[in-house]
Structures are given as C-alpha cells and as structure tokens.
Structure 1
C-alpha cells in the first residue's frame, strides 16, 4: 500500500510513500503521531464541553414556576458555589463564553444549549473523520517502513549459494 488516498484534500498533495526513504518516512510518521495526539486532545476537550452544554440544558429544564423561592447553589467558578434563591422562573442568565452573559427565557436557553450540543457534536464527528484518515496514513507509513527495512536486511544478508 504505497498510496493511501486517491483524492487528496484541497491544499494537500499526494505522495507515493514508496518513493520516500526510511528517514523521511520516520519524520512523516512522527508528524502524524503529533497530529493524532492533537486530534485526541481536541476530542477530549469537545466531549467535556458537550457534556457541560447537555448538563446546562437539563438544569434549565428543571426550572419551573414551582421553583420560585427555592434555594440553589450558584456557580462562581468551576469549583466554587454560593447559595442563592430563585426569584424569577421566567428568565435565566447564561454564560455564552469569554466572560459574556445573556439573559434568555427558559425556552430560549434550552434552545441555545441544544444548538450548542448539536454544533459540538458536528465538530466531534469531523475530528473523528480526520483522525481516522490520519490513522490510515500512519498505518500505511508503518507498513512501508517495515517493508523497506525488511528489504534492506534481505539485501544485507550474504547469499548462501
């Protein structure tokens, strides 16, 4: 398997792996290892964000008119909470990122978190696809390296005629 993909992505060129020497293949393999690690880390981060959006949507869904006057814990940071009282069950204040907050009605907040979950899910799928392609290329490079090393060892063996 010297070539991996018959149609390279835009902005990328197709390389016949068999034409590269072992050192070039090793460098390419190392680069792919780093890229695969970045994809894995990105997936982990996106899954954490996805879970937070899901939890936030569920929490907003639990606010009902009967919740008025009940005591809750309000997060100030990821690990620090203060007691608070629900005074308005019609509107909530949601964190929309980078220190910005928006006031939404309950349905608007549920819709916001639903859209965020869908967006993050799409990004996860894209990264999984790219990671899968990188893994295929990585496997092909490893196979070519093994074949080249095996061939060079065969050539180095003295003939026993």
Structure 2
C-alpha cells in the first residue's frame, strides 16, 4: 500500500479517498470475504502440518517399539483389525490420490518432514496475506468513518 489511500492486491488501482462510501462498503465486504476464505485455508494448512507431525511421532514409535508386538492395523478410516508387526522398518506411505509406496521408516520420516515444511511455509505465506488484508480492511473502515463524519459535519443542524 502506498500511504493510506491505496488498497493493494486486486484493488491496487483503487484510490479509497476518491470512491463513494457505498464503494468503500463493497470493498470492505470483499476484503472480509477474502479474509474468511484465507483463514479457512490457513486452518487447513495448520491441520495438515499437525497430521504430518503426528505421523512422524508414530513412525518413531513403530521403529523403536513395535517389532513383534500386536498393533491395530487400519483397513479403512474407521475399521481396524489386530495384527502383529513383523518388519518394523518398512511402512506403507500414502503419497496422495489413493497411491501408496512401501518405504523404510527413515525415508517415510523424511517425506513427512518435507511435506510438513512445505505446508508450514505455505501457511506462513497465507498468514502474512491475512495480515495485509486486515490492514487494508482497517484502512478502508477508517476512510469510511472519516467520510461519514465529514458528511455529518456538512449537514445543517435541524
């Protein structure tokens, strides 16, 4: 933003000091909607980062403590059956769209770390965009309030 008179992003060419109060309201509403969508995306990214972190913890547990022990094997997201861990160095790694790879624990952990870092970086970028949008919204709201105050001063007292 240059000064307090321009909004950035898709509204970069809009000088908020020269638009009507109705246009300011529309612009504020548009930015509020953007913030809402971005906030949902941010939450989903943080949730995914947490899932990969949990997966790394499970991989550590499997490698260190599961050989020869009975575990619950997931068949679906809600159906588990008991099984015995015979090889605690190999796991099935879901890589997306229903595809699985057999990997050793260390490579699976590296995969989780890479995905977690990528998702965390994306969450950080989205968080920064949210902050910029909040500043834009605040400046638009301030301009709107200033305009209302000016209009009220210009109206003759009754």
Same fold, judged at TM 0.5 (above)? yes
Aligned to 2:23, the other structure's residue is in SS state helix
Aligned residue among 2, 5, 11 for 1:3? 5
User: Which residue does the alignment assign to 2:125?
Assistant: 126
Task: Tell me, yes or no, if structure 1 residue 55 matches structure 2 residue 57.
Answer: no
TM-score normalised to structure 1 length: 0.87
Shift of 1:109: 0.4
Task: Tell me, yes or no, if structure 1 residue 74 matches structure 2 residue 79.
Answer: no
Question: Unaligned stretches of 5+ in structure 2?
Answer: none
Question: Unaligned stretches of 5+ in structure 1?
Answer: none
- 2:54, 2:125 → 1: CA distance? 23
Shift of 1:14: 3.1
- Aligned positions, number: 156
TM-score normalised to structure 2 length: 0.89
Shift of 1:77: 3.9
* Cα pair 1:2 1:16 within 8 Å, conserved: no
User: Which residue does the alignment assign to 1:105?
Assistant: 104
Task: Tell me, yes or no, if structure 1 residue 45 matches structure 2 residue 44.
Answer: yes
* Cα pair 2:63 2:105 within 8 Å, conserved: no
